């Protein structure tokens, strides 16, 4: 199997939940909302309103904000790239994989400005061989097409196989498998009881790197 490793971005290479909490605290302060509002925003985010347009429509209504949902969402996308971080050990682990001949890429769903901003500001743009963003390509994981594009950007052909690492059982694991890749699921405890059929399960992306190295032995 070729040495191709594709990674999800949010809550895989970067801790989006931690950045979201920072954003929620700033948002509450800016709009003079209570501490309870922060809890509400986090809960709304975790409880499955991933589509930000709907999320901000609901937030606007709840807190009687004058700005439109579209404007609130745009401000969120401008701010988030400044709040996310990629841990230095993760950047180093990507460099180590590449030193061992792996081609490394990112496959992510989301708007082009937000995802690209996060990839660039965290230094990940320089730490990988290529990336494919749904907001740019017009197709989303689990569509195999996005994995194919990511592989190509890394100078590889998805037909040669490889690995997909991510935290979403359907988008990352289901999609990766449909693309013919072996999979490592990052279990963050948010999908308890959900069926998965990944080849490996870990709690942090750093352990996924270990699995990739071991897979070569």
Binding site for Mg ion (CB under 5 A): 8, 10-11, 167
Tokens representing residue 108 in the block: 């992510």
Complex with Mg ion: residue 28 or 163, whichever CB lies closer: 163
Tokens of 96: 């180590």
Q: CB nearer to Mg ion: give 7 or 76.
A: 7
Find where tokens 């509450």 sit.
28
Which residues does 63 contact at the CB level (< 8 Å), separation at least 6?
31, 33, 37
Cα angle 158, 128, 182 (rounded to 5 degrees) comes to: 35
Q: Shortest gap between Cβ of 11 and Mg ion (angstroms)? A: 4
DSSP state of 160: G
Q: Please state the closest distance from residue 36 (CB atom) to Mg ion, in A.
A: 27
CB of 216 to Mg ion, least distance (A): 25
Residue 68: CB minimum distance to Mg ion, A: 28
Residue closer to Mg ion by CB (options 11, 183) is 11
Instruction: Pick the closer one to Mg ion by CB: 130 or 169.
Output: 169
Q: Please, are residues 171 and 12 in contact by the beta-carbon 8 Å criterion?
A: no
Q: Which residue has the tokens 């979201």?
A: 20
Task: Tell me the closest approach of the beta carbon of residue 6 to Mg ion, in angstroms.
Answer: 12
List, in sequence order, every residue forming a beta bridge with 104; answer none if it has no partner: 5
Q: Which CB sits closer to Mg ion, 63 or 191?
A: 191
């Amino acid at each position: 199997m070729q040495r191709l490793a594709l990674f999800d971005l949010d809550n895989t290479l970067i801790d989006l939940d931690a950045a979201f909490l920072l954003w929620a605290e700033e948002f509450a302060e800016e709009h003079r909302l209570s501490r309870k509002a922060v809890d509400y925003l986090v809960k709304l985010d975790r409880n499955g309103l991933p589509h930000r347009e709907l999320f901000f429509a609901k937030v606007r209504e709840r807190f009687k904000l004058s700005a439109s949902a579209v404007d609130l969402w745009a401000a969120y996308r401008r701010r988030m790239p400044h709040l996310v971080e990629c841990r230095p050990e993760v950047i180093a682990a990507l460099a180590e994989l590449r030193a061992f001949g792996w081609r490394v890429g990112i496959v992510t769903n989301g708007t082009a400005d937000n995802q690209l901003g996060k990839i660039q500001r965290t230094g990940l743009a320089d730490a990988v061989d290529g990336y494919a963003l749904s907001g740019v390509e017009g197709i989303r994981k689990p569509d195999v097409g996005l994995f194919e594009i990511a592989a190509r950007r890394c100078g590889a052909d998805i037909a040669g196989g490889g690995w997909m690492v991510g935290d979403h059982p359907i988008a990352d694991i289901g999609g990766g498998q449909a693309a013919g890749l072996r999979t490592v699921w990052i279990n963050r405890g948010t999908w308890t009881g959900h069926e998965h059929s990944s080849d490996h399960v870990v709690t942090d992306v750093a352990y996924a790197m270990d699995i990739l190295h071991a897979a070569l032995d």
